[in-house]
Amino acid sequence: MTPEETRGRLGPFRDKALARGIPVDEVERWMDTARPCAILAKDGDGPVVGRFGGPLLLPVGTPHPSQPFVASLDLAALPADATDLPLPADGRLLLFAYPEDEGGGADMGHVLYIPAGTAVTERDKNAWSLYEIDEYREVFERFPEEPLRATTEVSLPYHHLVELPEPPYADVLPGHPHAEELAEVWDETYDDIAVSGPLQLGGYASQEAVDVDPVATAVARVTGRARPAWDEVAGWVLLADWSPGITGQEGATVHWVIRREDLAARRFDRAFTSVFWNP
């Protein structure tokens, strides 16, 4: 998606923001933050790029991830301009997670990249650490099983606050005094601009209740610092978002995040998974 195409798609957002009286230069600067993303869902006209569930195929000798299998993506099938992430051109990306926050800053998922041509063998999808516990197994049995088609969309921030290390502990995003209003306008106009889906690659993270960027929340958990520096957070990107919509877990959103430099180096083992869960 070219910059011109992005701005054309954001016309309804721009019109509503200006109608609210937000200065045009503030609207334009907010639009400059737009990122492309891939919305993955069973419906749509885009190519099939993977699936929820299906057989779990892992490289020979790879330890079994401790979290349940969510989805497998064929990166060669993903449209080249679907995101601005430095993803490999081919191979498969496997996502693992359990859609609940256990607290304590625990990593609730895993990302595995399998280069094209790697020998794989089918493994038992039930061989993850908590499967034998009834309540966890029952949730896993409701995980979706369906193909995923990709639609290239545009994404703007849903969040408007950045956490600070001392009082008042939060302020509007640096350089954007109208951030709260602009985030509200994006939420209100999204359905006129883009399609939604249960899985998203790239773009900005969203969840049921957002004031602070979920990526920043995940970085805080990784670093052990309650309020990591703004420039440190800027080095991380959203790899994927998953809104399961599973009965009993309706308020859950899973975020897989990673440093951009680790993503470029294919160090997917350094990804971190956080879960927003409103029980």
DSSP string for 237-254:
EEEEEE----TT-TTEEE
Q: Which residue has the higher pLDDT, 102 or 131?
A: 131
The amino acid at 248: G
User: Would you tell me how many other CB atoms lie within 10 Å of the CB of residue 32?
Assistant: 10
Residue appearing with tokens 């998606």: 1
Q: What is the percent of the chain with per-residue pLDDT over 90, rounded to a whole number?
A: 70
**Encoding tokens for residue 165?**
């290390």
Lowest average pLDDT, out of 9-23, 155-169, 214-228, goes to 155-169
Contact (Cβ atoms closer than 8 angstroms) between residue 202 and residue 84:
yes
Is 168 a residue whose pLDDT tops 60?
Answer: no
- Model pTM score: 0.93
Q: How far apart are CA 229 and CA 210, in angstroms?
A: 19
DSSP string for 38-59:
EEEESSSSSPEEEEESS-EEEE
Is 251 a residue whose pLDDT tops 90?
Answer: no
Query: What pLDDT score was predicted for residue 208?
Result: 73
Contact (Cβ atoms closer than 8 angstroms) between residue 167 and residue 227:
no
Query: What pLDDT score was predicted for residue 279?
Result: 65
Lowest average pLDDT, out of 124-128, 138-142, 168-172, 275-279, goes to 168-172
Query: What pLDDT score was predicted for residue 85?
Result: 96
Give mean pLDDT, residues 124-148.
93
Lowest average pLDDT, out of 87-91, 137-141, 203-207, 264-268, goes to 203-207
Per-residue pLDDT tens digits for 50-108: 999 999 999 999 999 999 999 999 999 999 889 999 999 999 999 999 998 876 678 88
Query: What pLDDT score was predicted for residue 157?
Result: 92
Element (H, E) at 82: none
Is 231 a residue whose pLDDT tops 80?
Answer: no
Nearest to 75 by CA among 60, 95, 91, 97: 91
pLDDT band at 169 (very low <50, low <70, confident <90, very high): low
Query: What pLDDT score was predicted for residue 7?
Result: 84
Residues 6+ apart with CB under 8 A from 245: 198
Query: In Å, how far are 26, 30, 103 from 176, measured between CA atoms?
Result: 7, 8, 32
Query: What pLDDT score was predicted for residue 224?
Result: 76
Mean pLDDT value across the chain = 90
Is 248 a residue whose pLDDT tops 90?
Answer: no
pLDDT band at 202 (very low <50, low <70, confident <90, very high): very high
Give mean pLDDT, residues 222-239.
80
Query: What pLDDT score was predicted for residue 32?
Result: 93
Query: In Å, how far are 13, 27, 92, 154, 192 from 10, measured between CA atoms?
Result: 5, 11, 32, 8, 9
